[in-house]
Amino acid sequence: METDLPVVVVGAGPQGLAAAAHLVERDVPVVVLEAGVAPAAAVAEWGHVRLFSEWPELIDGASARILSSTGWEAPSVGYPTGAQWIERYLAPLAAALGDRIRYSSRVTGVSRLGRDRLVDAGRGEQPFTIHVTPGVGEEYRLQARAVIDASGTWSTPNPAGADGLPALGEAAAADLLSYRIPDFRDREGFEGKHTVVIGSGHSAVTAVLALARMARRDPSTTVTWALRRATTGNAFGGGDADELPARGALGIRAKEYVDAGLVSVVTGFRVERITREGDRPVLIAEDGRTLTADRVVILTGFRPDLSFLSELRLELDPTLQAPIRLAAEVDPNIHSCGTVAATGAADLAQPEPDFYLVGAKSYGRAPTFLALTGYEQVRSVVAELAGDHEAARRVELALPDTGVCGGAGIFDASGASLGGACCAPPVLQIGHTPATV
C-alpha cells in the first residue's frame, strides 16, 4: 500500500474533528469527509439544547493544542448549548484544520481496491476506496491507507414501532411526527395542543419538561409521556447520585412535574400502528389502547447506519451493532456512562485491518456515549495508526459516575431551557450527543 495515502475520517463532528487534530499533530496526512455544509452539522440541528457536561469535558487535548497556536482561548466554565459548542470550539477547530475537511461530501461506500468482501488474497495490502457523492449526479473515488468512521448515529433515529421497525402507517404519517427535540422557543406549534412524547431517555425527558412548563402557563396544553416499559423504572435518572449534576437535576424536575399532574405518564404503551384523523396522529398500542394527539415527538434513540460499509469485514455484536469487544462494556442493561471502561484501538479494531468505528457509532444502539470517551478512542486509534503502540494501549480517561444514561436535557431553576446532551446526539450523550443528543 502507498504510504503517502491519507487517513480518511468520515464525519466532521466532535469526534471526527478530534481524530483529524490527533492525525495532524502526528504529521499523518488526513482527509475529513463531511456530508453537511459546515462542521458539526448534526450538533447544529440540536443547537438549542444545552449539554450535560461542562466545557472542560467537551474539549479534546490535541484539538486544544492546535487551537492554542491560533490565539484561541478555551472556555473554562459553564454548560454550553450545542450552538455555543460549535461557535466557541468546533467551528474554530474546523477552521484550523482548513482544507483537510471536504464539505458536502457524503460517503456512499467503503471497500478495498479491487477486492469485494469475499476476496482474501492480498486484501490487507490494498488501499481502501471511498466513494463520495459531493452533489446530485456527482461521484468520485478516494483512496486511503486507513479509515476512521466517526459519522455518528444522528441521521438514523429509531422508529416509534416497539419491535424496532416502523409502526404500521408510520411512514404515511411522517409529516405529523418529529424524531428530534423540538425547539420549544417556537411555542405556537405546542401551546394549547396535546403532545405525546415517546421514549424514556434524557432526550424524551427534555421534551417532557419543556411541554410541562407550557402546560403550567396554559392549562389547555396537555402532555402525555408514553413509555414502552411497564413501570416508570429509571426514567427519572440517577438524581442526586449522578456525578453529572445537570443530568441528575433533569430527572428530579421531571418527577416533580409528573407528581404535580402537569404530565400524564402512560406505561406499557408499545406502538403497533399509527393512523390519522385529519391532521391529528393516532397511536395504537399492541394491547389496543389509543392516544390521539396534535403532535407526536418520537425520542427512542438512534442506531448506526452501516449501509455504506457493506463491503467491509466487520465483527459487530448481534444485539447492539457495536464492535464485538466493546459491546459487553456498553450494554445499557448493565452499564451507565460512568461505569463504561475507556475503550481504545484494541477494542475498536475490526477484521478489516486499519478500519475503526469511533464515537457514538462505535456504541451501536447503546445510548451511553460521552464525548470524553470518544476523545480517548480517537487518541488511541490515531496512536495505533501512527505506530505508537504503547500510547495506543495507554488509558488516559476518568469518567463521572452515574446511575443511568440516556439522551439529553436539563432545566435550570429559573425555568430557562438548559437542554442537555452527554454527547452527540442528544444522544447521543455528549460530554456528554440531543440525546443522544
Query: What's the pLDDT score for residue 424?
Result: 37
Above 70 in pLDDT, residue 83?
A: yes
Do residues 330 and 275 both lie within one domain? Answer: no
Do residues 234 and 314 both lie within one domain? Answer: no
Tell me the CATH number at 49. Answer: 3.50.50.60
Do residues 286 and 196 both lie within one domain? Answer: yes
pLDDT digits (tens, 9 = 90+) for 388-407: 999 999 988 866 554 434 33
Query: What's the pLDDT score for residue 416?
Result: 35
Final residue belonging to a domain, choices 272, 300, 328: 300
Do residues 21 and 53 both lie within one domain? Answer: yes
Peptide bond into 436 cis (omega under 30): yes
Average pLDDT for 294-323:
95
Average pLDDT for 221-230:
93
pLDDT digits (tens, 9 = 90+) for 165-177: 999 999 999 999 9
Beta sheet of 101-102, edge-to-edge order: 101-102, 30-33, 7-10, 146-149, 355-357
145 in any annotated domain = yes
Average pLDDT for 16-34:
98
69 in any annotated domain = yes
Which region among 47-61, 175-189, 227-241, 275-289 has the lowest average model confidence (pLDDT)? 227-241
25 in any annotated domain = yes
| Residue 307 vs residue 232, higher pLDDT | 307
Do residues 288 and 326 both lie within one domain? Answer: no
pLDDT digits (tens, 9 = 90+) for 249-284: 777 888 888 889 999 999 999 999 999 999 999 999
84 in any annotated domain = yes
437 in any annotated domain = no
412 in any annotated domain = no
Average pLDDT for 216-224:
94
Do residues 124 and 215 both lie within one domain? Answer: no
Query: What's the pLDDT score for residue 190?
Result: 92
Question: Structural domain of residue 200, as residue ranges?
Answer: 174-300
Query: What's the pLDDT score for residue 341?
Result: 67
Final residue belonging to a domain, choices 300, 329, 350: 300
Question: Nearest 5 degrees, angle CA 357-CA 48-CA 342?
Answer: 30
259: which residues sit within 8 A by CB, 6+ positions away?
A: none
Do residues 318 and 295 both lie within one domain? Answer: no
Do residues 147 and 190 both lie within one domain? Answer: no
pLDDT digits (tens, 9 = 90+) for 98-140: 999 999 999 999 999 999 999 999 898 999 999 999 987 899 9
168 in any annotated domain = no
Above 50 in pLDDT, residue 218?
A: yes
Residue 237 — very low, low, confident or very high, per pLDDT cuts 50/70/90? low
CA-wise closest residue to 203 among 300, 335, 328:
300
Do residues 182 and 128 both lie within one domain? Answer: no
Above 50 in pLDDT, residue 382?
A: yes
pLDDT > 70: percent of the chain: 84
Query: What's the pLDDT score for residue 135?
Result: 81
pLDDT digits (tens, 9 = 90+) for 343-361: 899 999 999 999 999 999 9
Average pLDDT for 14-22:
98
Question: Nearest 5 degrees, angle CA 424-CA 12-CA 46?
Answer: 35
74 in any annotated domain = yes
Do residues 141 and 56 both lie within one domain? Answer: yes
Do residues 213 and 339 both lie within one domain? Answer: no
Above 50 in pLDDT, residue 69?
A: yes
Do residues 335 and 234 both lie within one domain? Answer: no
Q: Tell me, what amino acid is at 36?
A: G
Query: What's the pLDDT score for residue 339?
Result: 56
Total structural domains within the chain: 2
